[in-house]
Amino acid sequence: MEEDLLTLSTRRLLYDAVRSRPGIGAREVQRVAGTGWGETVYHLDRLTDAGLLHRERAAHQDHYFIASVPLSDRRLLRFVRSVSARHLLVALLEVPGATVPDLSERTGLSAGRLSVHLGRLLENGMLETGHRGRMRTFTVVDPARVIRLLTTYRESLSDRWVEGLLETWSELFRP
């Protein structure tokens, strides 16, 4: 049945867009596949109903994943699809225990934008907090998991921040 659903070229295009960019939003699927909005939504719904794709509803948009992406990865991938959230996570991997001013300086993000992303990451258990003097600090709860995810999905998340982190990480842990 899976093959039957994917024999339609439009569905195959949409499925491949999601497979190559897990956590992608519907508008980005449409842009990547070059399809019309109604056509995109219709076929994404059919693929979701058939269990080939998972749709994760977030605050402002839906994120799509092929069925084989583990639930634990899906939650984190929803966040790292955002360039700002991805840069924040990379900065926290590079400097655990950073404060908001540290993070603002490293990422170029405003305190307000950092607050939104930090709040979402804390809410979902991806960060823990501490204190350095009167300043609140932030640390990634499971850095190895985040690095594994960035490595696994490197092609679809690649930017200079991720590449720099993974290059440094692979140098540190080379046998």
CATH 1.10.10.10-classified regions of the chain: 2-68, 70-175
**pLDDT for the residue numbered 174:** 46
Q: How far apart are CA 115 and CA 154, in angstroms?
A: 26
Token output for 14? 């949409």
Which ranges of 21-129 does DSSP label H, i.e. alpha helix? 26-33, 37-49, 71-80, 83-94, 100-107, 111-123
Instruction: Tell me the mean pLDDT in the region 134-151.
Output: 89
Instruction: Tell me the mean pLDDT in the region 42-67.
Output: 90
**pLDDT for the residue numbered 43:** 95
More confident residue, 165 or 123: 123
Q: How far is CA 128 from CA 25, 39, 60, 103, 138, in A?
A: 28, 42, 24, 15, 6
Token output for 149? 């995810």
HSE of 44, CA atoms in CB hemisphere, 13 A? 26
Class of domain 70-175: mainly alpha
- Considering the domain 2-68, what is its CATH architecture? Orthogonal Bundle (1.10)
Is 94 in contact with 165 (CB distance < 8 Å)?
A: yes
Q: pLDDT tens for residues 85-123?
A: 888 988 998 899 999 999 999 999 998 999 999 998 898
Q: How confident is the model at residue 161 (pLDDT cuts 50, 70, 90)?
A: low
